[in-house]
């Protein structure tokens, strides 16, 4: 066991300069996908909470389909399938869009749970005292819903960070793909993957601790 970690220490000076740029790519695709997922998720929830029953059924069908299809299949369709109809995406764009689409449905579900957790009497009271629906949402619903959805949204971000590793299969030059290249050169697969796993852990674990610390503070005073 000591020899195992000594081997890692011997190779770290050569591995880390190649892993740091890949880590930057991983973080970039994580945040780009999360922003896209948040925008699409909000739009899905707005449509689903609207009055157009046809659009509601379309959104419900979209959510069911995306939740039932593996992420890798969606990435393959975007990267390998779309060129067949004349649409060409870079690996980074396909990965970002694919992850954004997949996680948008989860964010939409989180938002729906957050809005439904509020007593409808608050909205009715706000409308009764003269606030418009937009003002009611902005000043009454949104501030309280954010307290509810922030912890699960951050946990979703952590899951998204880990799922970026799937993008290695469509040649996005992120951590996992770079580690596979290093592994093929060094013939030390376990050593390389331990280092990469430690990098993911060093990012995800503090975020998890932050969510654990933040959640009771946001729930303070709520009934």
Question: 10-33 pLDDT, tens per residue?
Answer: 999 999 999 999 999 999 999 999
**Separation CA 135–CA 127 (nearest Å):** 9
> Which CATH number is 67's domain given?
1.10.3720.10
pLDDT in tens, 102-149: 999 999 999 888 878 777 777 777 777 877 766 776 677 777 777 888
Distance of CA 54 to the CA centre of its chain: 28
What's the average model confidence in pLDDT over 155-164?
Answer: 95
CA distance 22 to 203: 14
Residue 131 phi, psi (nearest 5) = -75, 145
Q: Residue 129 has what DSSP assignment? A: T
Contact call for residues 169 and 72 (beta carbons, < 8 A):
yes
Q: By residue range, what is the domain housing residue 124?
A: 2-219
Query: Is 139 in a helix, a strand, or coil?
Result: helix
Listed in sequence order, the DSSP H helices in the chain are 2-48, 53-68, 71-76, 91-116, 120-128, 133-136, 142-163, 175-186, 189-219
Total count of domains within the chain: 1
165-216: per-residue pLDDT in tens?
Answer: 999 999 899 999 999 999 999 899 999 999 999 999 999 999 999 999 988 8
Query: Tell me, what's the pLDDT at 177?
Result: 93
145-160: average pLDDT: 90
Q: What is the mean pLDDT of the chain?
A: 88
The residues near 48 (Cβ < 8 Å, ≥ 6 apart) are 56, 59, 60, 108, 112
Inter-residue contact 196 to 176 (CB < 8 Å): yes
Q: Measure the CA–CA gap between 107 and 58, rounded to whole angstroms.
A: 17
Listed in sequence order, the residues at least 6 apart from 51 whose beta carbon sits closer than 8 Å to its beta carbon are none
């Amino acid at each position: 066991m000591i020899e195992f970690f000594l081997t890692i220490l011997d190779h770290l000076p050569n591995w880390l300069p190649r892993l740091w740029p890949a880590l930057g790519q991983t973080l970039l695709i994580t945040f780009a996908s999360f922003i896209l997922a948040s925008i699409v998720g909000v739009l899905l929830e707005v449509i689903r909470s609207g009055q157009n029953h046809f659009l509601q059924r379309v959104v419900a069908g979209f959510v069911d389909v995306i939740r039932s299809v593996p992420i890798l299949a969606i990435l393959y369709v975007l990267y390998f399938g779309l060129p067949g109809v004349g649409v060409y995406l870079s690996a980074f764009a396909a990965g970002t869009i694919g992850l954004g689409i997949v996680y948008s449905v989860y964010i939409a579900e989180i938002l729906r749970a957050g809005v439904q957790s509020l007593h409808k009497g608050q909205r009715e009271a706000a409308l009764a005292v003269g606030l418009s629906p937009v003002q009611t949402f902005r000043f009454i619903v949104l501030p309280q819903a954010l307290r509810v959805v922030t912890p699960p949204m951050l946990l979703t971000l952590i899951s998204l960070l880990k799922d970026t590793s799937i993008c290695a299969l469509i040649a996005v030059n992120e951590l996992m793909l770079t580690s596979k290249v290093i592994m093929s050169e060094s013939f030390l697969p376990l050593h390389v993957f331990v280092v990469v796993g430690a990098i993911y852990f060093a990012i995800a674990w503090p975020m998890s601790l932050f969510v654990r610390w933040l959640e009771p503070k946001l729930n303070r005073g709520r009934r």
